[in-house]
Amino acid sequence: MSGIEEPVSEEEVLQRLKEALGEALLDARIAGKRRVFVTVDREHYRTAVVALKEMGFDFLSAVTGVDAGDRFEVIAHVGRRVSVAVKALVPKDDARIASIVDVYPAAFFYEREAWEMLGIHFEGHPKLERTFLPESWPPGVYPLRKEYRQGSERG
């Protein structure tokens, strides 16, 4: 293992993602140095992540779940030099998305966290169990959802 063999130019990453995904790429932009944001629908989330892996990205930084009001978003942050954020849109009434644990084993804990905090179900995850919240936490209550209010929220 010597050096990091990843694409280093944002344009190249964007170009190759466009080739791999074509029409499925809903939005793609370069946001500053070494930052690429792409948006796909949930069916193509896995495809995009696999495309990145095949491009030479072997590092997964994090998986973020976002409650964006009318929908959930799952964001996979991939890459060492160029940080590519692959954003997938997930409808609220059917919060399911394909797991990427088999592509990036590092997603194991990150997806568990997103599931616990937002209730997004990752299909194909080997062990979607409690990790962060206490055992006494009521099932089906997802603290990072917007409808979950805190007791002492100040104005």
**Contact footprint for another protein (CB under 8 A):** 1-4, 31-32, 34-35, 37, 58-62, 64, 66-68, 75, 77, 80-81, 83, 85, 104-106, 108-110, 113, 117, 130-138, 141, 143-144, 148, 150-154
Q: Which is nearer to another protein, 24 or 106 (CB)?
A: 106
- For residues 145 and 65, give the distance between their C-alpha atoms in angstroms, rounded to a whole number: 10
CB of 33 to another protein, least distance (A): 8
Q: Which is nearer to another protein, 105 or 124 (CB)?
A: 105
CB 38 within 8 A of CB 48: yes
Q: Which is nearer to another protein, 22 or 151 (CB)?
A: 151
- For residues 60 and 154, give the distance between their C-alpha atoms in angstroms, rounded to a whole number: 36
SS3 state at 118 = helix
- Sign of the dihedral through C-alpha 98, 102, 103, 107: positive
